[in-house]
Amino acid sequence: MMKSIFRGRFIGLSFILTIFFNLSIKAQDVSPELLIQADRVTKLVQPNSNDGIFINQIGVDNVIYNDVSAQNFTLNISQNGKNNTFKVFDNALNLDLSVSQRGLDNTILKYNQTTAGNVVNQYIQSGTNQNLSIYGSNSISESLTVSMQGVNQNIVIRNFK
């Protein structure tokens, strides 16, 4: 019951943030000046708790979907740009994800159906049309950092025991 209530509140918050940023930013493309300002804001906004979801979205049509079943979790997500997508479906016992997407049309998908231990991952995308897909979890991927820079990159990581 708590999971569905939380998911509903999170989707509602995402909807409100999307409407706010769509009304606030009227340009079709995100200017470099806006990205620089967003970088400054990102450095000032730091989570002050050990559990929860912290979102910093600047731009147009950025999407976050979360379906996490974890005892303890922290999701720190920053999206600066246009059409960036982050989707996570995870069953880790303890989950700590840090996500930074800067640019246009970047996608991160993380799927884990099995129960994993302590997962501490960082995903960074800076550029255009970058796609990262992560399936499963094992001891190697429990402490993972992926950094993508440039244009038109695709990474698929399959972690199975």
pLDDT exceeding 70 applies to what percent of the chain?
A: 68
pLDDT in tens, 1-56: 444 444 444 444 444 444 444 434 433 455 555 555 555 444 434 444 456 889 99
Task: Check if the beta carbon of residue 74 is closer than 8 Å to that of residue 51.
Answer: yes
More confident residue, 31 or 137: 137
Bridge partner residues of 96 (DSSP):
74, 120
Alpha helices by DSSP H, listed for 25-139, are 32-44
Q: Is the dihedral of CA 53, 58, 8, 120 positive or negative?
A: negative
Return d(Cα 129, Cα 154) in angstroms, integer: 9
Give me the mean pLDDT over the 118-134 stretch: 95
Domain positions in the chain are 2-159
> Tokens 């009227």, residue?
26
DSSP letters spanning 49-80: SSSEEEEEEEEES-EEEEEE--SEEEEEEEEE
Return d(Cα 38, Cα 76) in angstroms, integer: 15
Report yes or no on whether pTM surpasses 0.85: no
Length of the chain counted residue by residue: 161
* Among candidate residues 146, 108, 142, 109, the one with its CA nearest the CA of residue 124: 146
Return d(Cα 75, Cα 98) in angstroms, integer: 6
